[in-house]
Amino acid sequence: MKHYDNGLKHFSLSIIWLWLTVFAMLPFCLVTLASFASHDDAHLLTLPATLINYIHLNNSVYVKIFKQSFYIAGICTLICLLLGYPFAYLIARMQSRFKGLLILLIIIPFWTSSLIRTYSMITMLKPQGVINSMLLWLGVISKPLTLLFTDTSVMIGLVYNLLPFMVLPLLTNIERLDNRLIDAARDLGANRLTTFRKIILPLTMPGILSGSILVFLPAMTIFYIPDLLGGSKSILLGNLIQNQFLIAQNWPLGSAISVVFTLLLAVLLIIYWRSSGNKDSQELL
Amino acid sequence: MRQFLKSVITLASIFLASISFADDKIVNVYTWSGVIPDSAIRQFEKETGIKVNFSTYDSNEVMYAKLKADKNVEYDVVEPSSYYIDRMRRQGMLQKLDKAKVPYFVNLNPDFLNKSYDPDSSYSIPFIWGITGIFVNNKSHVPASITTWSDVWNKQYANQLLMLDDSREVFSMALRSLGYSANDQNPEHIKQAYLKIKTLLPNIKMFNSSPISLLIDEDATVGMSWNGDFFKAKKENTHLDFIFPKDGFVIWVDNFAIPKGAPHLDNAYKFLNFMLRADVAKAVVLDNAYPTTNLAAQKLLPAEVRNDPIEYPSREIMSHGEFQTDISDDALALYEKYWEKLKMGG
Amino acid sequence: MRNLPYTSYLTAIYLFFYIPIIVLIVYSFNNAQYSLLWHGFSLRWYHELFADSDLWLAVLHSVILGVTAATVATCVGGLTAISLYRYDFFGRQLLYGSIFILILSPDIVMGISLLILFSMIGITLGFWSLLLAHITFCIPFVVVTVYSRIVSFDQYIFEAAKDLGAKDSVILTRIILPLLWPALLAGWLLSFTLSIDDVIISYFVAGPDFEILPLKIYSMVRLGVKPEINALCTVTFGLTLLLIVISQLSLRKKP
C-alpha cells in the first residue's frame, strides 16, 4: 500500500466515483430492475416482479442470435487486428516530421457521418456501382459481380468503421516500445520472427487487448451497417434489443437480454484474463 | 463566397435569436422526418413571430418511448401514425383538441375523419396518408402478371423481392392474402400468416425501410412500396409500375396531435391551423410528394399530381383499403417472436 | 526505395480509409435527388446547402457538443486511468466493472436508461442532457486507450520522483502528462469521433431546442440520401483538412 497524502488522489477519485456511480452504475441498476418487471398495454414497466423474462430467454432463436453476433464480431476483430497491427507498427516506428499529420489523417474520414460513408459504400458496391462499372470497363469481368447485400459487404463495412478503434490504441502503445530491447534481442542473435514473438508481441499485448475490446464490443451491437449493407436479412444483438424496446414495447425482456449479454461477456473476459496470466492485461478494465 | 458569408451571417443571427426568444413565443414541433419542409416553418415564423423548435424522428416508436419515459418532455406538436394515435389516445397521452382554435379543420377530407383509431377525431388531425402496394420494374417483369399479394409468392421472383423492414407491414401483406384483416389479433391467424411468410423467404432479396434509391437504381425489381415513395421514384425511373393488390392493402395516415402537458398550447393550435391552410398544405405536399388529407389543398395541386392515379386512386380502388389500427401488446409480442424466427431463417 | 513494401501497405490502408470519402465528394455533384448512380454534374446541392441555415446551425451545435464532450471525457477518463494505475483504493474492481458496463451497454439501452435517469433527477432535455450522455459514453474509450499506454511505463520513475521530494501534482504535470500526451490525444480524437457520429443515444436524450447534425442526417436519410448531405460532408471535410494544413504550417514556423 502506497501512501499519497495529498488532495490530488481524493480529488480524482471523487470525480470518477461520482460520475461512474450516477451515469454508469445507476442506469445499469435501473436496467437490471426493469428486467424483473412486468408490462401491460398501458405501462411499459409495472409490478409484479417476475423471472419470466429470463425464462423467455431460453429460446433457440436467441441462442442463434447470440452465436451469430459473437461470430461476426470475432471475425471483424481478427481482420481489424491483422490489418491494423502492421499499419500501427509502421506509423509508430516512423521517424518523420509528418508523423503527427499521418495520425490525424487516420481519424479525419471518421468525422464524416458513418451513415453517409455507409451509403457511399453502397454507391461503390451496387450492381451498377463504381467498382462494377470500373471492372466492366477494364474488361476484367463480363457481368456485374454481386457485392452488395452479402456477408462480405457487411464485413467490409464493419471493418471500415471500426479499424481506427483498433489502430489508435495500438499506435499509442507501440510508440512506447523501447528500441533498446529490440536491439538487444537482435544482438543476442534472435531473428526477426523470434524478436517479434518474444519481445514485441508481449510488450504490445495491452494495446492489442485494448484495441480488440474497442472493436469487438461495438461490433456486436452495431446494427445499421448489417441492415444497410446486408439487406437486413438477419437479426443481431443490437436489432434484437432495439426491437424489444421499441417495436414489441417489451422493456422488461429487452432489459433482460441486455443484462444477460453484459454478464456473459463479463464472464468470458474474466475467464480469458485468468487463463492468459498476463498481469498487465488482467488489470485492464 | 458571398453566399457562404451570407449563410454565416444568417447562422449567427439565428443562433443569437434562439437565445433571446421569450418563452411565450416558442412552439416545439416533433414530426416525422421529410414531411414538413423548412420553407413552411420559415413562413410560419415570419407570419406569427413564433419561433419553431423543429425536430424529427423516423419511427413512431422512438417518439412514443420518449414521451412515455420522460414526463417533463416539452413537445407541443407531434405527428403519430394512425395506429399510434390509437395507442396514445387510449393511454391518455394526448390532449383533447379544441376545434374552435383550428378553424381550417373544415378543409379536411371527411374520408379521413372519425376513423376507428380516433372515433370522433377529437385527438388527431390527419395530415398525409399513403398506401402500401406493389412496385414492379417493367423491364424485368410483366406488371400485368401481378394483381394480388399472393402473386409475389410465385417462384419466378426467387431472390428478387424488396420488403419493407417493418413487421406490421409484412404481416399485413400475408394476413390480407389469407383473407384476414391487416389488424387481425387472433393468434391462430397470425400463426398462419407467419407460416405463409416463411414460404416467401426464398423470394426475398432484402428488407429495407427507406427504399427509394433501390427502386430507382433497380437493385430490386419487384416488392413492397408506399405510393408516395413510388411517385418520387417514378420521376427518376420511368420503367416502374405500381399495383394496388386486389386482396386488399393497408392505408396509413399520419396525424398531428398535441401531447398532454404541452407547454405552449396556444402556439400549438396556431401551428396546426397554419398547417391546415390550403396554400400551406399544398406547398408541403408538393415538397414531400405524399398524398394529402386536405381537400382544399388537393384542389390547388397541379393537374398532373391531382389526377395521378397512384397518388389519388379512385374510390373503387380505395374500397380495397383498410386503415391501420393499434393491436394489443400480446399480439405485438407474437409478431415480434415470429419476426425474429423469420429473420433467423424460419 | 528500400521501404517500398511498407510504403505501399500504408498507402493501401489510407486508400481504404479515403476512397469512400472521395466517392462521397464526387457524388455531391450528382444531378439526381435519390439515385445513387451517376446522373451528370450539377452544383444545385451546394446552392441548397448554403441556403439551408438550419443544417449549419446543427453543424455548429454538433461541433460545440463534440469538443466539450471529448475534452471533459479526456480529463475524467485520463484521471480514471491514472488512478487505476497508481492508487490502491476501495472498490477498484467495482470501478473496472462500471467502465466495462459502460462500453458494453447497447446504445439503445444506454439511451433509454439515461433518459429515465434524467427524467428522475429533473434534467431538462437539451444541451446539458446531451453533453452528460456524450461524456459518459466517451469515457471508457479514453480510459482503455490511456491505460494501454500507461501500463508500459517504468514504475520507478514515479518512485524516483517521489524520493526526490516531488509532490503528487508535480508528478502528474511534469512526468505523467508529458508521457501520456499521445494517448490523451488519441482518446480525445476517438471521443470526438464518437460524439459527432452518435445517433441512437442522442435520439433519446435530445430536447426540442438543440438539434444536432447526426440526428438531422439520420432523419433526412429516411427518404434516401439527398446529395445535399454529401455536399455538407464535402464542405466540412474540406474545412477540416484546411484547418489541419494551416496548423501544420504554423507549427513548423516555430523554432
Closest partner CB to B328 (pick from A41, A232, A235): A41
DSSP state, residue C123: P
Contact flag C125-B70 (C-beta cutoff 8 Å): yes
Closest partner CB to A243 (pick from B204, B336, B345): B336
How far apart CA B61 and CA B338 sit, in angstroms, is 19
Alpha-carbon gap: C236 to the closest alpha carbon of chain B (Å): 13
CATH number, domain containing residue A192: 1.10.3720.10
State the best of C152, C229, C252 to mutate against chain A, taking most chain A CBs within 10 Å: C152
Torsion, Cα C54 C58 C64 C67, to 10 degrees, reads -150
- At C94 the three-state DSSP class reads helix
Contact flag B65-C112 (C-beta cutoff 8 Å): yes
Q: Hey, what's the cell of A238?
A: 443490437
Task: Report if residue A182 sits inside a domain.
Answer: yes
For residue A207, the enclosing domain spans: 60-283
Size of interface A-B (CB pairs under 8 A): 77
**E strand or H helix at C98, and its extent?**
helix C92-104
Q: Determine what percent of chain C is predicted with pLDDT higher than 90.
A: 24
- The pLDDT-based confidence of C3 (bands split at 50, 70, 90) is confident
Alpha-carbon gap: A22 to the closest alpha carbon of chain C (Å): 9
Which one, of A265, A284, A276, A79, lies nearest residue A167 by Cα? A79
How far apart CA A105 and CA C21 sit, in angstroms, is 12
- The pLDDT-based confidence of C255 (bands split at 50, 70, 90) is very low
- Residue A6 has a pLDDT of 61
pLDDT in tens, B240-286: 999 999 999 999 999 999 999 899 999 999 999 999 999 999 999 99
- Residue C172 has a pLDDT of 77
**E strand or H helix at B264, and its extent?**
none
The ranges assigned to domains in chain B are: 2-127+253-314, 130-251+317-343
**E strand or H helix at B105, and its extent?**
none
Q: For chain C, give the mean pLDDT.
A: 84
Contact flag C34-B236 (C-beta cutoff 8 Å): yes
- Decide which of 3.40.50.720, 2.40.10.480, 3.40.50.10860, 3.40.190.10 is the CATH code for B130-251+317-343: 3.40.190.10
- The pLDDT-based confidence of B5 (bands split at 50, 70, 90) is low
- The pLDDT-based confidence of B8 (bands split at 50, 70, 90) is low
- Residue C252 has a pLDDT of 63
pLDDT in tens, C189-221: 889 999 998 888 998 898 888 889 988 888 777
Partners of C217 on chain A (C-beta within 8 Å) are 113, 115-116
Closest partner CB to C225 (pick from A28, A119, A213): A119
- Residue C87 has a pLDDT of 76
Contact flag C119-B69 (C-beta cutoff 8 Å): yes
- At B51 the three-state DSSP class reads strand
Q: Cβ distance B197 to B174 under 8 Å?
A: yes
Residues on B contacting C at a C-beta cutoff of 8 Å: 3-4, 6-8, 10-11, 14-15, 18, 26, 28-30, 33-34, 38, 53-58, 62, 65-66, 69-75, 209-210, 212-213, 216-217, 229, 232-233, 236-237
Indicate the number of domains in chain A. Answer: 1
Task: Report if residue A1 sits inside a domain.
Answer: no
Contact flag B329-A39 (C-beta cutoff 8 Å): yes
Residue A136 neighbours by CB distance under 10 Å: 15
Task: Report if residue A25 sits inside a domain.
Answer: no
Closest partner CB to C35 (pick from B3, B66, B213): B213
Residue A280 has pLDDT above 50, yes or no: no
How far apart CA C120 and CA C186 sit, in angstroms, is 35
Distance of CA C69 to the CA centre of its chain: 8
Q: Cβ distance B274 to B47 under 8 Å?
A: yes
DSSP string, C12-37: HHHHHHHHHHHHHHHHTTBS-SS-SS
| Domain C55-229 is found in CATH 1.10.3720.10 | yes
3-state secondary structure chain A: CCCCCCHHHHHHHHHHHHHHHHHHHHHHHHHHHHHCCECCCCCCCECCCCCHHHHHHCCHHHHHHHHHHHHHHHHHHHHHHHHHHHHHHHHHCCCCCCHHHHHHHHHHHHHCCHHHHHHHHHHHHCCCCHHHHHHHHHCCCCCCCCCCCCHHHHHHHHHHHHHHHHHHHHHHHHHCCCHHHHHHHHHCCCCHHHHHHHHHHHHHHHHHHHHHHHHHHHHHHCCHHHHHHHCCCCCCHHHHHHHHHHCCCCHHHHHHHHHHHHHHHHHHHHHHHHHHCCHHHHHCC
Partners of A251 on chain C (C-beta within 8 Å) are 112
Size of interface B-C (CB pairs under 8 A): 112
Find residues 138-167 of chain C whose CB sits inside 8 Å of chain B.
Answer: none
Closest partner CB to A232 (pick from B59, B68, B206): B206
How far apart CA A173 and CA C182 sit, in angstroms, is 9
- Residue A284 has a pLDDT of 47
Which chains are within 8 Å of B by 3+ CB pairs?
A, C
Alpha-carbon gap: A179 to the closest alpha carbon of chain B (Å): 51
DSSP state, residue B219: S
**E strand or H helix at B79, and its extent?**
none
Q: For chain A, give the mean pLDDT.
A: 83
pLDDT in tens, C70-101: 999 999 999 888 888 877 777 777 887 788 77
Q: Cβ distance C242 to A140 under 8 Å?
A: no
Confirm or reject contact between A9 and chain C (CB < 8 A).
yes
Residue A17 has pLDDT above 80, yes or no: yes
State the best of B88, B329, B335, B339 to mutate against chain A, taking most chain A CBs within 10 Å: B329
A76 vs A185 pLDDT, higher one = A76
Contact flag B210-C221 (C-beta cutoff 8 Å): yes
pLDDT in tens, A136-171: 888 888 888 888 888 889 999 999 999 999 998 899
Which one, of B290, B305, B311, lies nearest residue B36 by Cα? B290
The CATH architecture annotation of domain B2-127+253-314 reads 3-Layer(aba) Sandwich (3.40)
Torsion sign (Cα): A239, A243, A245, A251: negative
Q: Which residues pair with B164 in a beta bridge?
A: B208
- The pLDDT-based confidence of B10 (bands split at 50, 70, 90) is low
